[in-house]
A and B are shown apart, each in its own frame.
Chain A
Amino acid sequence: MNIFNNAALLIGVPLLFAFSIPLFGLISKELAKWVTLLTIGFNASFSFYILFAHKYPTMVVMGNWLPPFGENLYIGPVAAFLVFVISMIGLLIAIYNLWAIKKGDVIRFSVLFLMFTAGASGIVLTGDIFNLFIFMEITGISSYALAAFGPERRALGGAFKFLVVSSIGSTLYLMGVTLIYTQLGTLNIAEIAARINQTTPGLLTFAGILIISGLAVEAELFPFNGWVPDTYTGAINGVSASLSGIAAISAVYALFRIAMTVFGKSGGAYVSTYGKIDLMALIALLATATVIIGELSALSQKNVKKMLAYSSMAQMGLIAVGFSIGNKLGVYGGIFQLVNHSIAKSMLFLIVGVLVAVGVGENIDDFKGLWKRNPFLTLTFSIGAFSMLGFPLFGGFWSKFSIVAASVQRGGWYDFIIGLVLFASVVEAFYYLRIVAYMFASDVELPKVKTPITPAIPIFILAVSIVAIGIFPQIVGTFSAQAAGELTHKMSGYILHVIPSIAAH
């Protein structure tokens, strides 16, 4: 395994450069900024190479210890695809940060940001349950620090709440992992997944609930997502964009890798988990609650950034509903929506960031008559909004289409769930269209506003990608179909690739 085409580089290189940034900083602050950009650029190109040169599924073994014993990184279709998306969005946000981050704290920000991206790609790549915890901690700590960034006081409040709740989450996760470790003696995901049914059902359910609740904090499901509104509004826009873009992907991946592969019963049209209560149904319940609460509380917000925070929480709920349906179509819709959401939501946050910096302000009333003041930003904002609503010709349409198709196909309780979700998305349509309507109002005469060039690049790229996905869904569709295949078929998709010799139980 020569050093160069080893997937571990995806985690190693950002970490390496993260800690060497202070050295570069000594030479010149400017260099530090460009180094972050270059490392994430490397990450993006390398994952692009893996994805498009179809280099997966491969496995990277640490120190030649075979999987059940040593740690391993497994890059299946899901991991390759998600890593690519994470690093691409990370790259675009880094470009935005070139402009957004002031001279003074470039170093501190770049260190944290690189650690954050490394941790996120780590979660997605790792094949070891404990490694997952470690990378979750890395992303967690860097995101608390990032959330506290920025001049405003509310950033500190938001970061503190995020710290408290997600530390509870990670402890719960750790307790769940230890319980399983005591029973099965191994930490490798594939091993546990294969031998999960040997554990006593009561203990298995208890461990499952602990893990799921731990991961639910990060994945913003209902009882655990108290921190979301304050952290997103408090953090500077670059950070909230990366939180809603990158952290969201890794969290959802972690939640459903555990729920579907580790605890999942293989076979049967719809994935359900071992143990007394079906964890997938539990997640579905939480997810629907999140959607409804997220949408309704977003309705009466006056501050656009807070509204975007609630809407991203609601969208995460929708994605979780998609995954929790359990059939290939549902997971396909979930992944597709996950990608669409991270693209659109990070773009919206970046636009709000630019607007605030240029002096337009965050409240809905400041958005009045924006069309006359700055057509580019208004157009991109409406493209992002329409994609979130699932209007045709934009990315969101296809993913919402498949989620509803899957849930109706499953029938039974899911008809009721999707009915609630559709009602909630009508509410969502209202508050998004309200902003768009305000923007197109032309009865207000306000000075013209110029968009700075550097942040305009990522916003433009994201907008073009939304419309491109809208017109040619195959771009994202093919990869999410393969990913859905891997997640729903636990045995054939994941375990046999990691440990070929294991006998199915």
Chain B
Amino acid sequence: MIFLKLLEGIGVGLLSLTVGLLFMGLARKITARIQRRYGPPVLQNFIDVFKLFSKQSISHGFAFDLGLVAGVSALLAAVVFLPMGQINLFPHNSSLIMIIYLMTMAYLGMAMGVSSSGNPNATIGVARALTMMMGYELPFAAVIFSVYIFAKTGSLTNIVAAQGGGFLNWNMVRLPFGFLAAEIALQGMLGEKPFDMAIAPAEIASGPMVELGGKYLGFGMLQHAVGIYLETGIMVDLFLGGASNIWIFVTKQFELFFIALLINAVLPRFKIEDGVKFMWKVPLLLGVIQALIVVL
């Protein structure tokens, strides 16, 4: 039985990777279309990843390697616990806060690897990413609070079960402010345009990725792919009522990702302190209003 679980786990990991890369490819295509140009083939990201893994690269010691690998594998470990449509490997062990803290493990690993290279650009990028994390974590905390109280449970499987039935009793409808706050927080989580000061190519030479060469950059892209899959997956489970099967789950994920994409294609970048201030003004207000509604 354990071996079956192992296989399912690896399957889920591969699924998240492929879907993540597919989303990134689609993203580049759609942004190109928005800019009235053709844009790369949708599978371009697969090609890039394969090319990266075939290139030689330089490393700054075992902390660098451990960090980058930890980045991807921690997220893969987190994905395993995410209920996706009918694929739900550990139904009674998928607590939301636990998954979020596992994701912080990935960011810690990545941060350790990248800043052990000694390049100040990388550490400044990491410092900005962590500040931004503090920024979007607050509205998300308010959202978690209201969902926990509303569904009276912490595990995602029960939250999804609570949203069964038609469109009307999705959390998106019943917790509208919470959904808006989570949407903006998702924008920050994905590192999309208004909040991508961590990877600002112009200012800090693509931030954390400055020293990443061939396969290390490949690991970075895989981590970003799984990150997209995981974050949108959580949002789907929380607000769009999960899905009966995996295909509906992925389409719902793409809907959310599509919204984030549109905002990303047109908006310039925040300064780091204005980003945090923005996060603590509008979305936090929405989240807290939602929390108060749920509590009273």
Do A and B touch directly, given a CB cutoff of 8 Å in the complex?
no
Residues of B near any A CB (own CB < 8 A): none
